């Protein structure tokens, strides 16, 4: 997938959250301690969940897919 902002190739992975949010290449089941090449996002407002996501490390954008998640439109 190409980045919608800069056009560069994005890397596929997951955006996972608990008390912190992290983009990871593979799902972490017990810990969100980032590994080499992963991006940790501090945000204490999130509750635990995960999404398939693509990251652009060039312009620091994440595109996530929530099509498989239940949601309500307001």
What band does 35 get if pLDDT is binned at 50, 70 and 90? confident
**pTM beyond cutoff 0.75:** no
Mark residue 36 as left, alpha or beta (left: phi above 0; alpha: psi -120 to 50; beta: remaining).
beta
The answer to whether residue 73 is domain-embedded is no
Q: What distance in Å separates the CA atoms of residue 30 and residue 33, rounded to the nearest whole number?
A: 9
Residues 6+ apart with CB under 8 A from 11: 25, 54, 55, 56, 57
Query: Is residue 59 a part of any domain in this protein?
Result: yes
Q: Would residue 4 count as lying in a domain?
A: no
Q: Is the pLDDT of residue 32 over 70?
A: no
pLDDT tens by residue, 37-69? 877 665 545 456 788 899 999 999 999 887 877
- Say whether pLDDT at 30 is over 60: no
Checking DSSP bridges between strand 39-41 and strand 49-56, what pairing results, if any? unpaired
Specify the number of domains making up the chain: 1
Q: Quote the domain boundaries for residue 28.
A: 11-65
Domain annotation covers residue 71: no
What confidence score (pLDDT) does residue 57 get?
94
């Amino acid at each position: 997938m190409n980045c919608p902002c800069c056009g560069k190739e994005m890397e596929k992975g997951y955006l996972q959250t608990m008390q912190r949010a992290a983009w990871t290449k593979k799902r972490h089941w017990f810990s969100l301690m980032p590994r080499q090449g992963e991006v940790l996002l501090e945000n204490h407002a999130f509750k635990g969940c995960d999404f398939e996501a693509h990251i652009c490390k060039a312009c620091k954008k994440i595109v996530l897919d929530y099509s498989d998640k239940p949601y309500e439109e307001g």
